[in-house]
Chain A
Amino acid sequence: MYKFVMPEVIFGSGSIYQAGECCKRLGARHVLVVTDRGVMDAGWTDPVLESCRKAGLAATLFHEVSVNPTDVEAAACAETYKESGCDAIIAVGGGSAIDSGKAAAALVANGGHIRDYEGVDRILSPLPPLVMVPTTAGSGSEVSQFSVIVDSVRQKKMTIVSKSLVPDIAVIDPDVLATKSARLTATTGLDVITHAIESFVSIAATPMTDVQAKNALALAARFLRPSVASKYNKEAKEKMAMASLQAGLAFSNAILGAAHAMSHTIGGRFPFLHGDINAVLLPHVMEFNLIACPEKFREVALLMGENVTRLSDREAGEKAIQSVKKLAVDIGAPLTLAEMGFHASAIPEISEIALTDACMITNPRDISAAEVAALLTRALA
């Protein structure tokens, strides 16, 4: 028995101009537009505001969102929503803006502190209309039931899981990817690959999620390099946007694995890019998980374009790991935690906390704190 949840999806070039109209259809009158500085500077907030104006909606802008959004920012965002008398939220940006929008929505409908909703199904009242406009082709948050927010007191990323966090409409416009830097394209692209692989090997994977995960992986493996290579490769951008969407649908329903569990924990303590951490951890986690489902890793290798004929599942799996590593090298992603500024001293604590992350539950191989620590040590340099 399984279930597949997803929002309405509008996909295509120029769809960003639909954002306002989407909100209006959901009954909105005054929209809170949640975004960050970078997105504003790139000029993607304007078409959203413009679409709101055209739809006859009032709009209030909230842009104090950081790379790893915190509970404080979410509370401020909810406060702005209430003060301005908003009745819907559009989030424009990467995972941080979208997760902030979701957290704020949870707060305005349920009150309290976002910490109260950490875990699974803790949200009790329905959220206001949520329209998500992703600008990074990575997080998949625009279709997922997750919101990841940093607890500024505990310095930990809280994973909030609820069907109510699945947005109402995801507006995916590949054109917005054109302004992304190569660095950002690379790191978010690696996030897509991590999403695809982890959800594919997840013990909660279903035929429905497998379709999405496999498609996402094949697309990303093929188009990430050209997408990083050129801002103007429209086809590559569109494929990456689709890969991100499908990977999002896959992991939202099949959940993730150890790489994300650890990545969430590190992200709570260090200001690293989520995609970078994933990229470094993924090959090590794949090695660790290989024995759990070698046939699936064989498929991963295949999807990544490796030739696995006459190779055993295990050998094929190892090829998949190599392929991931090669991709990281090719697009200039960091290869070790050390080079990002991670200290070995944090390993014991990170290991303990990572074990409690929701994503750890669906990891195909059972894992202990010591094993997490060993993986982190290996990823360090």
Chain B
Amino acid sequence: MNRPEMIHLLTGVQSSKLNYYTELKKTIGELQKKNRQLEIMNTIMHSFNVNMSIQDMLKQTQETLQSVYKIDRLSLAMWEDGALKMADVYPEKASFLRKGTVLSSENSLYARVFSSGQDLLHSVQKGDDFFESEAFQALGFQSVWLFPLSSRGMITGVLGLATREIFSFSEEDRSFFDHLSGQFAVCIENARLYHEVLLSESRWASTFRAVPDSILVTDLDGTILTRNDSAAQSWPFEQTICTFLKPDRFHEAVQTELPCFEEVSIQNKVYECAYYPMLEDGELKGMIVYLKNITEKQFMQAQIIHSGQLAAIGEMAAGVAHELNNPLTAILGNAQLLLRLATNETKPLLEDIEECGKRCRTIIRSLLAFSRQEPSSFHPCSLNDAIYEALRLTGRQMEKQRIQLLIELNEQLPLVNGNLQQLSQIAVNLFINAKDACSEMQGEKRVWVKTEADQHFVYLHVQDNGCGIDADKLDEIFHPFFTTKSAHNGTGLGLSVSIGIAESHGGTLTVKSQPQKGSTFTLALPVLERTE
């Protein structure tokens, strides 16, 4: 420095006493910028919610940043399935590399920032040879600033800020963007976790709802808190389970905190009902009432057992018939031979032998027919025939019990489309039940058997003047395994199988009963439609 210059300096033409005004302005300027940045950070973070898509987050960020930084594009690359991939870009039209493009090459700026964990401010040059160079040039970016996104100590992706003008940012800007990307990473992570939770939650919820069995979640008093679709269908308005379930078992489960089970019948349906205590940290919080409709299952079971029984009877009957046929043929033949030589004295006796022999043969044939296991094929047939068949099997038992059998069959009865064998099974069941109902009664015992028809249906009424059925049991008598009879008398299968057959014929089996006065069972079957 030469002397005049030095003197100039010393006398200070070009310098002035520093004052606080400029200092203050500088400080205030810095503070204002910092405030603005904080405001932006606040606005961005507040506007984010876990429900927001990443695209919306980027949009919100870019728009809010606009007042301080002119960022033309925000891009996001995320680590996914073991690779760094291009994720969302805002604005969407400013994207070149497609979403999902893998940025794994050594040559990628994003990958470099991802692996180094250091931000990178890159000025786009003509001769650049990076993986992204073509994209940057095509989109007309001058500067690209990449920041690593780290959440819980892990780098999860890269946030990119791109401008079409050259960046001229300071250290404070860097720390701001650093902070911003930190917040961004947390928000993205939160949103991801939230969606994961939501997804698994909704998966569970739909599982819960889709279960075909009824599931009700209740509090400890049985008040219903939640119900799945099936339960909602069956009990849409019930407030508490106590209106359709007896609470004993429920209370037992609440008290013991152990699961309890019972079988209940509600509205003509049978349910397997389980009460599961809901424990949270060892404390009983509520109950799960699980109702499985087993009505169908029981019918099926009953049918299987019943047909098993029939099969056994059939097999036995075939054997017995075979064994009895020869002696019976001998008895009948001999009796007929002897009849020719009979005296007046012996003739009635021999005739009786012949008659009895013939009846034995009929019974054997009926038994064989009744128990024959054939694939149920439907043919036009007469309900009356089925009744005759049944009477052949059971008439004698009635007589033995001194039951007066009043038969009133309509000979003009229209035909039905059905399986004679199965229909006679219904009739047998009804007759046996009528007989059993009368057996304990004093006085005159009567069973009426009547057929009639209207335009659409043929009816069989079996009426007795027996013990009748209590009103509260009327629903249950058709349930499989329900019986009022003693163990060796009844299996509880008869009526359930009968109603099953009636339904398979498109008919119904109904009952009217008055305790101590008697019951009337009515089988209704649709009339065979004439196709002529």
Residues of A within 8 A of B (CB): 1-3, 5, 120-121, 123-127, 145, 161-164, 166, 203-204, 206, 253-255, 358, 361-362
Contact = CB atoms under 8 A, between A and B. Distances in A.
A124 B18 CA distance: 8
In the A-B complex, the 6 residue pairs with the smallest Cβ-Cβ separation, listed nearest first, are A126-B18, A163-B17, A164-B18, A120-B9, A204-B7, A361-B6
A126 B13 CA distance: 18
A123 B18 contact: yes
Contacts of B6: 120, 361
A204 B10 contact: yes
B10 A255 contact: yes
Given A125-B23, A126-B23, A145-B12, A5 B7 contact: no
B16 interface: yes
Contacts of B3: 361
Contacts of B15: 121, 162-163
Contacts of A203: 7
A126 B6 CA distance: 22
Contacts of A361: 3, 6-7, 10
A2 B7 CA distance: 10
B169 interface: no
Contact of A161 (B10, B17, B20): B10
Interface in B1-51: 3, 6-7, 9-13, 15-20, 22-23
A204 B18 contact: no
Please classify how large the interface on chain B is, using the bins under 10, 10 to 19, 20 to 34, 35 or more: 10 to 19
B19 A121 contact: no
Nearest to A166: B17
B9 A254 contact: no
B6 to A, nearest CB: 5
B25 to A, nearest CB: 12
B18 A125 contact: yes
Contacts of B11: 2-3, 204, 206, 253-255
A164 B7 CA distance: 17
Interface of B: 3, 6-7, 9-13, 15-20, 22-23
Contacts of A120: 6, 9-10
9 contacts: A121-B9, A126-B17, A126-B19, A127-B18, A145-B12, A162-B15, A163-B17, A163-B18, A361-B10
Nearest to B22: A126
Contacts of B20: 126
A126 B22 CA distance: 9
Given A164-B17, A204-B7, 14 more contacts: A120-B9, A121-B12, A126-B18, A126-B19, A126-B20, A161-B10, A163-B12, A163-B15, A166-B17, A206-B11, A254-B11, A255-B7, A361-B7, A362-B7
A358 B12 CA distance: 13
A8 to B, nearest CB: 12
B12 to A, nearest CB: 5
Nearest to A206: B11
Contacts of A204: 7, 10-11
A161 B6 CA distance: 12
B128 to A, nearest CB: 39
A124 B10 CA distance: 16
A124 B22 CA distance: 11
Contacts of B16: 163
Contacts of A162: 15
A124 B3 CA distance: 23
B14 to A, nearest CB: 9
A121 B8 CA distance: 12
A6 to B, nearest CB: 10
A124 B12 CA distance: 15
A204 B10 CA distance: 9
Nearest to B4: A203
Nearest to A168: B17
A2 B17 CA distance: 15
Contacts of A254: 11
B433 to A, nearest CB: 109
A112 to B, nearest CB: 16
A255 B7 CA distance: 9
A309 B295 CA distance: 146
A125 B27 CA distance: 12
A127 B17 CA distance: 9
A166 B16 CA distance: 10
Contacts of B10: 120, 161, 204, 255, 358, 361-362
Contacts of A124: 18
Given A255-B7, A361-B6, A5 B18 contact: no
Contacts of A126: 17-20, 22-23
Nearest to A110: B18
A240 B12 CA distance: 28
A253 B3 CA distance: 16
A108 to B, nearest CB: 14
A253 B20 CA distance: 23
Contact of A1 (B13, B17, B22): B13
Contacts of B19: 126
B2 to A, nearest CB: 10
Residue among A1, A5, A361 with the most chain B CB within 10 A? A361
Contacts of B13: 1-3
A203 B8 CA distance: 11
A120 B10 CA distance: 7
A345 to B, nearest CB: 31
B28 to A, nearest CB: 15
Contacts of A358: 10
A206 B7 CA distance: 12
**Listed residue (A162, A163, A203, A206) with the most chain B CB atoms within 10 angstroms of its CB:** A163
Contacts of A1: 13
Nearest to B13: A3
Nearest to B20: A126
Contacts of A362: 7, 10
Nearest to B17: A163
Most chain A CB within a 10 A radius of its CB, from B6, B13, B15, B19: B15
Contacts of A161: 10
Nearest to B12: A163
Contacts of A166: 17
A162 B20 CA distance: 15
Contacts of B9: 120-121
A160 B206 CA distance: 82
A163 B19 CA distance: 10
A127 B13 CA distance: 20
Nearest to A361: B6
Nearest to B23: A126
Nearest to B6: A361
B437 to A, nearest CB: 110
Contacts of A163: 12, 15-18
B384 to A, nearest CB: 121
A121 B12 CA distance: 9
A253 B15 CA distance: 13
B24 to A, nearest CB: 9
A123 to B, nearest CB: 7
A5 B12 contact: yes
Nearest to A203: B7
A12 B6 CA distance: 36
A195 to B, nearest CB: 15
A338 B16 CA distance: 42
A3 B16 CA distance: 10
A53 B378 CA distance: 124
A87 to B, nearest CB: 11
